[in-house]
Structure 1
């Protein structure tokens, strides 16, 4: 039995809470995982896991072994990467979680460049607008927007974006004049359930909060985009969410003189783990994407 492989497999079992989930993430059969853990316990002559109908939990000895094994493997990975040199590139698997629309518009189109720089690396992207359990899902880095509510999260802010009131020119032609936030009462608002229905604006030091209403409420950014592009109303969203349409003029900003709270993009890492070189470099890569996009967009004028 390969000691390194057995340690890595045990870590995955503890993280996921079951042999079957660990097997799926590792791409092997469940019997192979069960057999490896049994051999590990036999070699150590100690029980590492408590098996019950609710799943698997580590014993006291198992928890101690888990923590030391996790640190040892992470340090070994870092040492190997350092010995190879930065030019050797990354290898293995990088598991990324990201909001669906943001990843589709900004990350996935740029991935060929990242993969070309690291030919030995495999990237798995979990597209989900919800904040998932990074440890249970075996995620190395999560890209999330907004305010982080988990005080234990290990996070790095990598970009700050603008929020705007957005609509299509076609929809605005059908509606009344829009000169101040108070006029929003005359418009059909598309409500994004992840944001409050009261929209807060700031203009020349004056703060204004306006409650909006509409017949459509959506829970995912893809639905919000589809509704706006179907001329169903206006909405508040990050400029990132409608970047192609803002560049082309298919969607425009209104109430431009009134500013909205900005939105932050975060790289979030699993709590209790050393941040891997793969995760750090991917965060750097995403940061470079957003900086380049902001610089280019700042030079572009849409007529």
Structure 2
């Protein structure tokens, strides 16, 4: 029995909650997964999993072994990277989850750089504005914005951007340039309805704090739609710099009320721990961090 491989299989079974899901993610047959776990239990002399018709759950010994096995896998992975060198050690497939608009604007255009650095690695981008289940979808790394829900995932902040009041110059020339939060009540706003958006915003300036409820006839669930609506002149939007970086640089849109501050938005690299892909995920996270650090629009102050 290849004990290291069996440990990785066991970790995947615990993560996914079933032999069949682990088999799909590892691209091996379900009998091979069952056999590996059984051999691991025989070698250890303890039962690791409680099997029922509805679910698989680790025993007390299994939960303890899972934590230590996970650390052992990570340390082995790091040892391989150190011995071979970073580029040559990264191979196989890496599945990365990210929001559609963010990835299209900031990651995909520079993806060639990452692929050239790691010629033996294939990257699969899973683009969705929803926060998908990383284990269920077999994702190695997620690039997520905003406040992260408590979970068993490992997260690291890799970027931060300002939220701004953004619109086209033609729109502001027609309807007026807002100078204070109260002025926004006279404007049509394009409202992003997912997490990180909404109608209610609190602006801060020095010691002043003003909350407003944006008025808008158009609500949209995807950032790409918000971009299209703003660029067509439907209204202004409270949006991240990242959502309009090219247009802020070119002047296709402008930012107003920049002396009033809104909550910033964080970008985090999130990935499940205890997988051989963790080194690949960390390398891609570093790449994504470089992408956003070089994509900020010029100072608008």
Question: Residue 227 of structure 1: CA displacement?
Answer: 2.4
Contact 2:94 2:277 survives alignment (8 Å): no
Alpha-carbon distance change, 124 to 275 in structure 1, aligned in 2, over 3 angstroms: closer
What are structure 2's unaligned runs of at least 5 residues?
Answer: none
Query: Paired residue for 2:160?
Result: 160
Could you say what secondary structure the match of 1:298 adopts? coil
Q: Distance in 2 between matches of 1:145 and 1:237?
A: 12
Q: Deviations over 1:110-161 (max 9, x none)?
A: 1211121112223333323333444554444322222334286643222221
Query: Paired residue for 2:205?
Result: 203
Stretch deviating more after TM superposition (9-18 or 20-29): 20-29
Q: Distance in 2 between matches of 1:82 and 1:199?
A: 47
Question: Residue 109 of structure 1: CA displacement?
Answer: 1.7
Stretch deviating more after TM superposition (176-185 or 12-21): 176-185
Query: Paired residue for 1:258?
Result: 260
Q: Deviations over 1:48-99 (max 9, x none)?
A: 3222243211223322332232222221111111111345352344332222
Q: Deviations over 1:212-245 (max 9, x none)?
A: 1212222332232232233222110001011122
Could you say what secondary structure the match of 1:279 adopts? helix
Query: Paired residue for 2:72?
Result: 72
Contact 1:17 1:136 survives alignment (8 Å): no
CA RMSD of aligned residues (A): 2.9
Alpha-carbon distance change, 152 to 22 in structure 1, aligned in 2, over 3 angstroms: closer
1:34 aligns with 2:34: yes
Contact 2:153 2:271 survives alignment (8 Å): yes
Alpha-carbon distance change, 170 to 33 in structure 1, aligned in 2, over 3 angstroms: farther
Query: Paired residue for 1:280?
Result: 282
Stretch deviating more after TM superposition (52-61 or 104-113): 52-61
Q: Deviations over 1:169-212 (max 9, x none)?
A: 34334424533322211211122222242222233543222111
What are structure 1's unaligned runs of at least 5 residues?
Answer: none
